Structure 1
Amino acid sequence: MNNLKKPINNILEHLQERTKELNCLYEIEELLNNTDRDVENIFNGIIEAIISGWQYPDVCQVRIIYEEATFQSSSFKKTRWRQKADILVQDKPVGKINVCYTEKMPPAEEGPFLKEERRLLDTIATRIGNFITYQQLKHSHQKWETSTQKLSQQDKDKWKTILEILSNTDKNLYQKISRKMLNYLCWNGIKEAERLLKQFGLSYKPDDEKLSIDPNKPLQKEILPNFLKFSEATFSIAAKHLTEQEILTCIQNWIKDDKSSVLVTVLESFDTSIGEISDALERFYLTNPEGLELNPATEKGIKVSLIHRFFTEQLQFINIAKNYVEIKDFYNLLQRIVYTQKSYGKLGGKSAGLFLAAQIIKKSSADSDLLKNIKFPKTWYVTSDILLKFIRFNNLEDLFNQKYKDIDQVCQEYPHIIQIFKNSYFPPDIIKFLSTALDDLGSCPLIVRSSSLLEDRMGSAFAGKYKSLFLANQGSKKERLDSLIDAITEVYASTFGPDPIQYRAERGLLDFHEEMGIMIQEVVGANVGNYFIPAFAGVIFSNNEFRWSERIKREDGLIRIVPGLGTRAVDRVGDDYPILINPSQPNLKVSVSLEEIVRYSPKKIDVINLETNTFETKLINDLLKKFGDEYPKAHQIISILDHDRIKKPSAFDVDFEKDNIVITFDGLIKNTSFVAQVKTLLQLLRKNFNTPVDIEFACDGKNFYLLQCRPQSYSKDSLPVSIPQDIPENEIIFSAKRFISNGLVPDITHIVYVDPEQYNQLDNLSDLRLVGKAVSKLNKLLPRRKFILMGPGRWGSRGDIKLGVNVTYSDINNTAVLIEIARKKGNYVPDLSFGTHFFQDLVESSIRYIPLYPDDPDIIFNEKFLMNSYNSLSDLAPEYSHLSETIHVVDIPKVMDGSTLQILMNAEIDEALGILVKSD
């Protein structure tokens, strides 16, 4: 057990040797890819690289033998401390590599040699063999080209020359092409070809007489004649019925297809590992370094197989992606994937969405200047099955059935699972891979993102269900690696949290074999003092589900933007606001009056502190007073409050210490192409994804970065409901006239009402949390979609829980409506958090949202009914009876002689009404 759990710092002692080995391999790759060098120069360079890559370079000597030639280090002499590897070409030895130490060295796994050096030597021998194979193929190709060029004036003999070369050098390929030609002739209805097939026992059409004797009786096996005669006869028929150019084109296409046959074979097999696919792709590009023009059908088949293998089996995604991705894209992708040689995992839904968006934008940027500067952060990927390997390595297999436990037990055990994961270990080979990734990413801040198989798929967004964690990534290599591993384990643990398990259960996905991929992504931003911050970041949506003006259309979309890290745009925060922009009508603002502009502007900013290695929230004005001159695009983000007006700042006359700064993004909206760029991007991705999209973005002050792209959560369209004007006031529970969507919610039997005044008087943090737990308990007890929740402030927000009830998705998922109440007394203000993960859950689950302002004129709020009706809390959840002054549960049919609550919603007139109706 001690060996399994040896500390990471022991592993790190060996990383210096691994770095030498990697450098050795990189140098050899560079030598073999340089086609301008001669063989002698290349082999001498390889000898030097091997010496520097072995553990004891001062006493290391190398000899390479290839056919009749020998290349060796100076004064080479064979000793008993040696290791060797054969160089194979087409499985036949053509040479060998000998590595010797001139002196006795301390013992290791293979004499004085490390087991890693054995693997490295075998890899080098394989690469040299591949290089020789490529040179031979290149020579054959040049010979072929020379032959065809000499015969350029004799078109009719070109294809015969090619066949002659093939029959002498590659009989298997010659036979394949002959059979393909005969099939081609038959498909074109040439009777002579069909007779040839029948003559050789390969009849293209079934012999009806034979088949009619007994359909269940096996046909008699027929002996095939000499295949060379068959080939000659085939091309003799072709010469009679096809043009010279048609024959030549067919042969050339089939030869091209054969060059991809190894890759096709590997991809068609269901049990092929990522390591084998990587080898096949490398071989494909090694033998065709300048690319290969494939038959369109073959090329599309390879693309579909690669999409299926790396991303998803969802046909809806594959049907879109196959039109935009290239084979080369996967070759490049493989250079930044963490996997084991026997890995069978995928990269997950979040990776798939970003990958596809990148290819769509890349192919479309030539047609639009607005798309040319869109960039994507450097990203490494961890395959989804590494989670399974991690679980088995630490004997945690019992967790596989966690999803089937009662949700209360899942909630109770989840914090302990997080700590178990954080105190578990990765296998050494994965740690080495992560170390390599860290070297490539450098010391810039990172975000470790979840990318599960179910995440961001068409129809299941899983928005915010799994963790994404920011890392400052500062300090020593060991400290940075420790932090990265710790973050990955925490993201892994979130697979077993209550929210994703509840979400899966609701959608019939519990039995799906879920795995968790990981994205390790550069954080986009710039250094501002001792902080790392994007100029701005946020989320963009194709559809705006909640409109603040009748002039806004659903398909106009929505930008939700904040200064700094985008966390305050995607998470619901209890005490702050983002800026909302309509991409189609950017001047149509939510806040119009001076008071509203100031009140609803962002006051805080999320940053990464590079000195303390922490994620922090700061007051924007405090940060700008110190570092305003360093903040990227500050003059486009801020406005200045000058007495009773908001004025536009100049880039040179802002006094960050004295000016009263307000975040408005007016400069960005009015003086840059940002909004036009977003609108163009939304239209492009919506059209090509064939669905509304949800995008995360950030700007470092120079470039716009796309961080994530997925199908947007949606609910079924609802029609506006007529609001009656003649309802007696004693039958009205509430009315609302701000930010109303369409819909009808009938047959509500229970109201769970959290009294804002009593909630505000709770001083004990544990009591505030108990209110959230009581709501969670009622969420499980009350009939699904037959109750509503009403209470103060912003439910489900991070930050001060005094400003809203402390719940997550799994605590409210069964409610029909969430009503957030804002009273003028107190600090309870609903946040129209369109676009946060919390609101996406409401939209996707068809949970209606209504903000209620009881103190507004012409608003009816029957608080007396809610407070004076019999409180069923003690009957339903006696353990929370001490909270009866704060939480009121009204059983409507019980207190109103069988009546139920009906909620009518009309977005066109911006009104909602909750009324009591008699049951039929």
Structure 2
Amino acid sequence: SLLEDSQYQPLSGAYATYMLPNNASKVNVRFHQLCSAVKRVYASMFHKEAISLIESSVHSIEQEKMAIIIMELIGQSFDNRFYPTFSGTTQSFNYYPVSYMKRNEGVAFVALGLGRTVAEGEKSLRFSPKYPAILPQYYSIKATLASSQNSFYVLDLNKNTKALLNGETENLDLFDLQVAEDDKVLSWVGSVVSNEDNVLRDSLNHEGTRVITFAPILKFGLFPLADILNKFLELGQRALGCEVEIEFAVNLFKDKNKKPEFCILQIKPMVVGVSEELTHELDLTKDNVICHSTLTLGNGQFNDIINIIFVDPAKFNSAQSKIIAREIETLTAQLGTKTPYILIGPGRWGTADPWLGIPVKWQQISGAKIIVEVGLPEFPVDPSFGSHFFQNITSMRLGYFTVNHKSKKDMLDMKWLKGQKIVQELKFTQWIQTDAPLSVVINGQSGEGHILKPLPEIPAIMDEEETTGI
């Protein structure tokens, strides 16, 4: 459509997609289902979610025009279950690079089965096509078990008479990994955490918990996925003249006479970074900035945050870091999970070693929208990249600031923070509330971020020429 696929502000996933088994015995039934699906896609323009997306963008619903694409579904049949070996998306710009990755080197998300797993933000494998061996969410056996996809979507070919009865997903079924192993599909993408020694084995011949690692493909090169993605990202950028996102599906076959199939489902423009106009309108002088970092994760602008949970570095005691974590949990519970706040504190957040920072668990800071790690001489900043923390930051699209005490550009205005209203103060932790909302701006291209003080209200000046004279 004109709006969903706009090059300037695409509204990804705004409208409906229907998958039809197309296997009813009567042709007129299949034709009726197709016509009904087309009507429903058009009608999805007026769903509440689509309208709210359009209203929050620069577009208006009156501008919209749409064409319906009818595509062959990619996959294979396994006893009335239809699904590809795996599917996913790849983006030419990576908002959350780790290790020595660069933002312009791209990122990919892949999952066993149909792409709904990736599209809906469920558990999937994240990697950079430039560095397919680096899997940040699998930094330990425990993290591998927690982060691995453990179920997958298929199209149920038996639901051919009621394919559209209850919306987009009614004819999709969710199965566990055992079904994929029985279908001899799991061997392409699976590994095992062995029961014998709790070691990750890249073969299904061991007893243990099955996990999705894509090791046969990314590690042993049974299919050149990373090379293909790199090539198509390069071609896509050249063709569209901007950063791109590509959706794809892959069929791999046990029959050596059948060639593997890599299928591009969609390519669309990707909006990157904060516009120059936006950062220009927000005054970035030193007097207006609370926090500045040259190393941030995330992208965009965050508004309407008035709450800050602050661990004062002057009071911080590494021997009491577990107590500090519990204090933060207490304040988070009082704020509620739906109230966003900025979390600021020294050392490394979420570290397993309490002597390096504050060992918070994710549920203890579930309301945090922006996280700031403040470096101190005795606690040099080592960002939590690669840990379970990083996985949550990427999946929740949070803003993440690293303030390096050695950097002349990085700063945190402690004096301003300590001058704000304190709602509640515990032994080490403060709940601070500002009179007006703060603005947070993160430029995904440069990795630079600012937390801005509340903007002063400009008094309205009456124009005498426009007044009624009453």
User: TM-score under structure 2 normalisation?
Assistant: 0.61
Q: Distance in 1 between matches of 2:62 and 2:95?
A: 30
Q: Report what 1:137 is aligned to.
A: none
Which of 1 and 2 has greater Rg? 1
- Answer whether contact 2:107 2:128 (CA < 8 A) is retained: yes
Q: Distance in 2 between matches of 1:647 and 1:607?
A: 26
Q: Name whichever structure is richer in strand by fraction.
A: 2
Q: Report what 1:81 is aligned to.
A: none
Partner of 1:468, secondary structure, is coil
Partner of 2:13, secondary structure, is coil
Q: Distance in 2 between matches of 1:689 and 1:695?
A: 12
- Answer whether contact 1:604 1:617 (CA < 8 A) is retained: no
Q: Distance in 2 between matches of 1:498 and 1:866?
A: 39
Q: Report what 1:460 is aligned to.
A: 9
RMSD, aligned α-carbons: 4.8
| Aligned AA (2:200) | I
Alignment of 1:112-511 (within 5 A): 452-476=1-25, 477-510=27-60
Q: Distance in 2 between matches of 1:552 and 1:473?
A: 43
| Aligned AA (1:682) | L
Aligned mate of 1:554, from 99, 103, 114: 103
Aligned mate of 2:199, from 638, 645, 658: 645
Alpha-carbon offset, residue 687 of structure 1: 1.3
Q: Report what 2:269 is aligned to.
A: 711
Partner of 1:470, secondary structure, is coil
* 1:676 equivalenced with 2:218 (yes/no): no
Aligned mate of 1:524, from 74, 92, 97: 74
| Aligned AA (1:590) | P
- State the identity %: 20
Partner of 1:516, secondary structure, is coil
| Aligned AA (1:693) | V
What count of residue pairs does the alignment treat as equivalent? 350
Q: Distance in 2 between matches of 1:901 and 1:891?
A: 10
**Kindly tell me: are residues 708 and 594 of structure 1, through their superposed partners in 2, closer, same or farther at Cα, counting changes over 3 Å?**
same
Partner of 2:171, secondary structure, is strand
Partner of 1:519, secondary structure, is coil
Q: Report what 2:245 is aligned to.
A: 694
Partner of 1:532, secondary structure, is strand
Q: Report what 2:205 is aligned to.
A: 654
CA-to-aligned-CA distance 1:867-918 (integer Å, 9 cap, x gap):
759xxxxxxxxxxxxxxxxxxx99722xxxxx76465869999998968779
- Answer whether contact 2:299 2:399 (CA < 8 A) is retained: no
Q: Distance in 2 between matches of 1:611 and 1:570?
A: 24
CA-to-aligned-CA distance 1:41-81 (integer Å, 9 cap, x gap):
xxxxxxxxxxxxxxxxxxxxxxxxxxxxxxxxxxxxxxxxx
Partner of 1:461, secondary structure, is coil
- Answer whether contact 2:191 2:211 (CA < 8 A) is retained: yes
Structure 2 residue runs without a partner (length 5+): 161-169, 253-259, 310-328, 343-361, 373-387, 402-413, 426-430, 458-470
| Aligned AA (2:240) | F
- Answer whether contact 1:538 1:562 (CA < 8 A) is retained: yes
Partner of 2:226, secondary structure, is helix
Q: Report what 1:635 is aligned to.
A: 187
Alpha-carbon offset, residue 501 of structure 1: 3.1
Partner of 1:677, secondary structure, is helix
Q: Distance in 2 between matches of 1:473 and 1:890?
A: 58
* 1:533 equivalenced with 2:90 (yes/no): no
| Aligned AA (1:637) | V
Partner of 2:340, secondary structure, is strand
* 1:892 equivalenced with 2:434 (yes/no): yes
- Answer whether contact 2:298 2:400 (CA < 8 A) is retained: no
Q: Distance in 1 between matches of 2:394 and 2:153?
A: 17
CA-to-aligned-CA distance 1:176-228 (integer Å, 9 cap, x gap):
xxxxxxxxxxxxxxxxxxxxxxxxxxxxxxxxxxxxxxxxxxxxxxxxxxxxx
Alpha-carbon offset, residue 605 of structure 1: 0.7
* 1:581 equivalenced with 2:127 (yes/no): yes
Alpha-carbon offset, residue 482 of structure 1: 3.5
Alpha-carbon offset, residue 686 of structure 1: 1.0
| Aligned AA (1:704) | F
- Answer whether contact 2:95 2:297 (CA < 8 A) is retained: no
| Aligned AA (1:538) | G
Alignment of 1:48-59 (within 5 A): none
CA-to-aligned-CA distance 1:570-615 (integer Å, 9 cap, x gap):
2234xxx211110112122212222222221111211112224553
Q: Distance in 2 between matches of 1:677 and 1:598?
A: 28
CA-to-aligned-CA distance 1:787-844 (integer Å, 9 cap, x gap):
x8359xxxxxxxxxxx99xxxxxxxxxxxx95599xxxxx99974556xxxx8xxxxx
Q: Report what 2:154 is aligned to.
A: 607
Q: Distance in 1 between matches of 2:134 and 2:241?
A: 28
| Aligned AA (1:709) | I
Q: Distance in 1 between matches of 2:389 and 2:305?
A: 27
Alpha-carbon offset, residue 622 of structure 1: 3.4
Q: Distance in 1 between matches of 2:67 and 2:301?
A: 40
Aligned mate of 1:596, from 143, 158, 170: 143
CA-to-aligned-CA distance 1:455-477 (integer Å, 9 cap, x gap):
31321322011111222233233
CA-to-aligned-CA distance 1:115-146 (integer Å, 9 cap, x gap):
xxxxxxxxxxxxxxxxxxxxxxxxxxxxxxxx
Q: Report what 2:172 is aligned to.
A: 616
Partner of 1:694, secondary structure, is strand
- Answer whether contact 1:830 1:851 (CA < 8 A) is retained: no
| Aligned AA (2:178) | D
**Kindly tell me: are residues 904 and 497 of structure 1, through their superposed partners in 2, closer, same or farther at Cα, counting changes over 3 Å?**
closer
CA-to-aligned-CA distance 1:232-279 (integer Å, 9 cap, x gap):
xxxxxxxxxxxxxxxxxxxxxxxxxxxxxxxxxxxxxxxxxxxxxxxx
Q: Distance in 2 between matches of 1:904 and 1:688?
A: 30
Partner of 1:607, secondary structure, is strand
Q: Distance in 1 between matches of 2:117 and 2:212?
A: 14
**Kindly tell me: are residues 606 and 832 of structure 1, through their superposed partners in 2, closer, same or farther at Cα, counting changes over 3 Å?**
farther
- Answer whether contact 1:572 1:833 (CA < 8 A) is retained: no
Alpha-carbon offset, residue 558 of structure 1: 0.8
- Answer whether contact 1:559 1:580 (CA < 8 A) is retained: yes
- Answer whether contact 1:539 1:560 (CA < 8 A) is retained: yes
Q: Distance in 2 between matches of 1:454 and 1:525?
A: 29
**Kindly tell me: are residues 480 and 790 of structure 1, through their superposed partners in 2, closer, same or farther at Cα, counting changes over 3 Å?**
farther
Structure 1 residue runs without a partner (length 5+): 1-451, 761-770, 776-787, 792-802, 805-816, 822-826, 840-847, 853-859, 870-888, 894-898
CA-to-aligned-CA distance 1:67-113 (integer Å, 9 cap, x gap):
xxxxxxxxxxxxxxxxxxxxxxxxxxxxxxxxxxxxxxxxxxxxxxx
**Kindly tell me: are residues 495 and 818 of structure 1, through their superposed partners in 2, closer, same or farther at Cα, counting changes over 3 Å?**
farther
CA-to-aligned-CA distance 1:718-747 (integer Å, 9 cap, x gap):
99xx9x9xx9xxx99xx999972478879x
Q: Distance in 2 between matches of 1:695 and 1:915?
A: 35
Q: Distance in 2 between matches of 1:517 and 1:742?
A: 31
| Aligned AA (1:463) | S
Q: Distance in 1 between matches of 2:20 and 2:332?
A: 38
Partner of 1:471, secondary structure, is coil
- Answer whether contact 2:125 2:213 (CA < 8 A) is retained: yes
Q: Distance in 2 between matches of 1:518 and 1:529?
A: 30
| Aligned AA (2:176) | I
- Answer whether contact 1:527 1:533 (CA < 8 A) is retained: yes
Q: Distance in 2 between matches of 1:906 and 1:508?
A: 20
Aligned mate of 2:236, from 680, 685, 697: 685
- Answer whether contact 1:453 1:517 (CA < 8 A) is retained: no
Q: Report what 2:297 is aligned to.
A: 740
- Answer whether contact 2:191 2:202 (CA < 8 A) is retained: yes
